[in-house]
Chains A and B, each alone.
Chain A
Amino acid sequence: MLFNSIDFALFLPIVFILYWFVTNRNLKLQNLLIVVASYVFYGWWDTRFLSLILFSTLVDYLVGVGLLKQENLTKRKILLWISIVVNLGFLGFFKYYNFFLDNFITAFTFFGMPIKAGMLNIILPVGISFYTFQTLSYSIDVYRRKLEPTKDFVAFAAFVSFFPQLVAGPIERATHLLPQFYKKRVFNSTLAVDGLRQILWGLFKKIVIADNCAEYANMIFNNSDSHSGSTLVLGALFFTFQIYGDFSGYSDIAIGTSRLFGFDLMRNFAFPYFSRDIAEFWRRWHISLSTWFRDYLYIPLGGSQGGMNMKIRNTFIIFIVSGFWHGANWTFIVWGFLNALYFLPLLLANKNRHNLEVVAIGRLLPSARDFLAILTTFSLTVFAWIFFRADNITHAFSYIKGIFTSSLLSVPTVLPFSLFGLLAFFMTVEWIGRGEQYAIEAIASRWKRPLRWGFYYVIIFLIFFFMGKEQEFIYFQF
């Protein structure tokens, strides 16, 4: 089920009413409702893969129970590896099987030993990369004794399948989300209103910004050979805003929806396009994934404890794995590698922990230095997105080659002025709200009700009148 669909507009109030008015007196029943609602939400797309979620839930639950009873370190390790192998096994099969096979065939053929192997027609289950990482975090944390394993299967199933963040995150840690299923939720009107506000902003980002940018980005990327350099730059810019609107919009809707049910999800985006260096960008972009890799990959690899060589090695590993997590295509790996290269000078100069605070805090405009830093980081990011969006490496390079031609200085052939206006409005609101959790959060405390409602109506009418063609969220494919 898509957040930006009529189905969800009907589904959400029904679940809300059942949750707060029918099952509210019994915690177990309330958790069970979440499980049922989540399975309906997921099954709306394809019922076949529900069994996969259920199996993954069962395995990790049983691993948890096993770890609770087991004190022997070797046996505990075996239990952890069962969880890792099952979860990554599913992920590897559904997401990477054809990729590896294809590359093996190419490699063997290159060395004069052609092999024959049949590709499988595999459908990638929506959200598999997200819930796999979430359940893995449970097993690892229980193994590390950071978390008490649960005996409550319903609560655990609700944690794994929690519908607001099931298919595209934020990737929650068991230590943060699971305990929330043990406690009775009390309805909080302020939080619920805040949740609705965040949903509204998320819908605006997705429907108005992302879907409209998608139309032009697709048009330009799909026929990149026939566009001028300046138009190709515009295409990359449209994709830059598309992916941000799409993914951070999804996260806003997920976090807002969770608040309606009394849950607190972690923040996933913190205005990344206002970052002053690439390290800051990665602290603000897809936070739940970056911190997952930090905690479960970077630190176990030694993190920044060793010498400079180890730091560099670990940085490249984490960025390349992060790229590969996005999809079985060399474009994502190059995208990850490129980001590691961007990161390297900061690491070498020991400046990767600069710019921790919000840019130009307490000021209307950034300083000239901050502005230049933002512009540079943004340009580097736009350039990297070309690899992320391109169909393959050849396409990415031909796209970049197409940019750096004499036509770069010509007037772009695609000039959607209404979209430029929307983007200017969007970025202005984001800039003003950059100190908050999401751009329009402060409206509640600073604006009087008539003005506040007026603003909400403006957003609703913008959604209504600039609604692009209903498109799936980009991150569903990951």
Chain B
Amino acid sequence: MKSFLLKCTAFIVLLLLVLVGIRSFIIQQKQNPERYRLNTSIENIVLGHSQPECGLNDSLLSHTKNLSQGGEAYFYTYAKLKKLIEVNPTIRTVYLSFSNNQLEKKMDDWTFDDEFINDKYPAYFFAMDSEEKKVLWKANPKAVLQSEQLLLKNNMVDLVKYRGKIRPETYWGDYLYLEREKTDSLIRVNYIETMVKERGKGISEINLTYLKKIVQWCKDENIQLIFYRTPVHPILRSTYDEKAFDSIRKKHFSTIPFLDCIDFPLSNQEFGDFDHLNYKGARKFSTFFNHVVQRKITSEIEIKKIISSEGQPEKNISE
């Protein structure tokens, strides 16, 4: 037994040494600030989840980079934001998505569920401080352990695949060109009922906490933070509890400018589904958003006026 245990220990120690060596190499490579450096002309960044990821085509936005990523909770956005600002002093304004579904209870799962930790931990590990890693470890240690394997695997593959020339958008989000045009078929099958059912009751405290942290951090770093809401289909919009949304915003974030574009007029053909724009919608909305960014508009009333002047949505939106 003694010899067996000794052999096993030696084998495992050697294995761990190799793994620690690989891990240290990856960390050293990925912590290089150059990997997070954006083009020096970038003054604004757009952050958020899948809605801005599909809705804002940054090739149409001057001096602006869209680093939104599907399924991203504020917990991960917070880590990403800190690292980006640290490495890119030219960034002066942060446009952060603040939408109804980001306050829904399901965002707790989007922060701590296995699937999301496995997806986000390997990407944001290099931006998280020890406090944030502790939060994840405490919430779901099993998923963090699984993600350690993915951390090595994914990053090794990235380093080999991109030969060290990794850009932030490779793993931290980018504009997503969405081709689909499923809105009409979703209306036909009454998919909205499923969406409403999946929401869960109550709000996500963890997402709210980290949103407050983002606000405080931007304030401390003297970064202009602006909330925005991308367009969603009128059918989905009608199911939102706007009163609750407004009350949270006014209670916690009354000082943050809010560019509410939820009712920006678009046709069914410009939506990929109820809450994501396809490339046609993104083209239209990004052109509009570019004007807003360039004119540095921060007034809620002004944005509403501009949207109204954009005209009514096309007739084929059926409810």
A interface residues (Cβ-Cβ under 8 A, vs B): 6-7, 20, 187, 189, 192-193, 196, 453, 456-457, 460, 464-465, 467, 470
Contact = CB atoms under 8 A, between A and B. Distances in A.
The 5 A-B pairs of least Cβ separation, nearest first, read: A189-B4, A187-B1, A6-B145, A465-B153, A192-B4
Nearest to B143: A6
Contacts of B7: 193
A7 B149 contact: no
Contacts of B152: 464
B3 interface: yes
B205 to A, nearest CB: 28
15 contacts: A6-B142, A6-B145, A6-B146, A187-B1, A187-B4, A189-B1, A193-B4, A196-B8, A453-B11, A456-B11, A464-B149, A464-B152, A464-B153, A465-B153, A467-B153
A462 to B, nearest CB: 11
Given A189-B1, A192-B4, A193-B7, A457 B18 contact: yes
A14 B217 CA distance: 45
B156 interface: yes
B15 A460 contact: yes
Interface string B1-18: 101100110010011001
B149 A20 contact: no
Contacts, number: 30
Given A189-B4, A453-B11, A457-B18, 8 more contacts: A6-B146, A187-B4, A193-B4, A453-B14, A457-B14, A464-B149, A464-B153, A470-B146
A465 B159 CA distance: 14
A340 to B, nearest CB: 43
B96 to A, nearest CB: 32
Nearest to A449: B7
B18 A467 contact: no
Contacts of B157: 465
Nearest to B154: A465
A447 to B, nearest CB: 15
Nearest to A196: B8
A21 to B, nearest CB: 9
Contacts of A464: 149, 152-153
A453 B4 CA distance: 14
Interface string B120-143: 000000000000000000000010
A415 B97 CA distance: 39
Nearest to A469: B118
Nearest to B2: A189
Contacts of A470: 146
A451 to B, nearest CB: 14
Contacts of A460: 15
A189 B153 contact: no
Contacts of A193: 4, 7
A417 to B, nearest CB: 15
A342 to B, nearest CB: 41
Given A20-B1, A189-B4, A7 B153 contact: no
A262 to B, nearest CB: 11
A7 B18 contact: no
Contacts of B3: 189
Interface in B1-48: 1, 3-4, 7-8, 11, 14-15, 18
A189 B145 CA distance: 30
B156 to A, nearest CB: 7
A456 B4 CA distance: 16
Nearest to A260: B4
A67 to B, nearest CB: 40
A7 B11 CA distance: 21
A356 B153 CA distance: 44
Contacts of B153: 464-465, 467
A467 B153 CA distance: 9
Nearest to A9: B145
Nearest to B157: A465
A467 B4 contact: no
A161 to B, nearest CB: 25
A192 B157 CA distance: 35
A309 to B, nearest CB: 56
A187 B18 CA distance: 30
B22 to A, nearest CB: 9
Contacts of A189: 1, 3-4
Contacts of A453: 11, 14
Contacts of B18: 457
Interface string B135-175: 00000001001100100110011000000000000000000
Nearest to B114: A470
A20 B3 CA distance: 14
Contacts of B156: 465
Nearest to B7: A193
Contacts of B1: 20, 187, 189
A460 B149 CA distance: 12
Contact of A7 (B4, B8, B15, B142): B142
A143 B287 CA distance: 83
Contacts of B145: 6
B4 A457 contact: no
Nearest to B115: A469
Contacts of A465: 153, 156-157
A6 B3 CA distance: 26
| Residue among A20, A460, A464 with the highest chain B CB neighbour number at 10 A | A464
Contacts of A192: 4
B294 to A, nearest CB: 44
A7 B114 CA distance: 14
A189 B11 CA distance: 15
Contacts of A7: 142
A192 B1 CA distance: 9
Interface string B62-95: 0000000000000000000000000000000000
A465 B4 CA distance: 28
A336 to B, nearest CB: 37
A199 to B, nearest CB: 12
A460 B8 CA distance: 14
A135 to B, nearest CB: 33
A467 B18 CA distance: 18
Contacts of B142: 6-7
Contacts of B11: 453, 456
A227 B76 CA distance: 39
A457 B15 contact: yes
A68 B127 CA distance: 69
Nearest to A190: B4
Contacts of B8: 196
Nearest to A24: B1
A456 B18 CA distance: 13
A80 to B, nearest CB: 43
A453 B1 CA distance: 19
A453 B3 CA distance: 16
B143 to A, nearest CB: 9
A10 to B, nearest CB: 9
A3 to B, nearest CB: 15
A476 B303 CA distance: 57
Nearest to B3: A189
Interface in B285-304: none
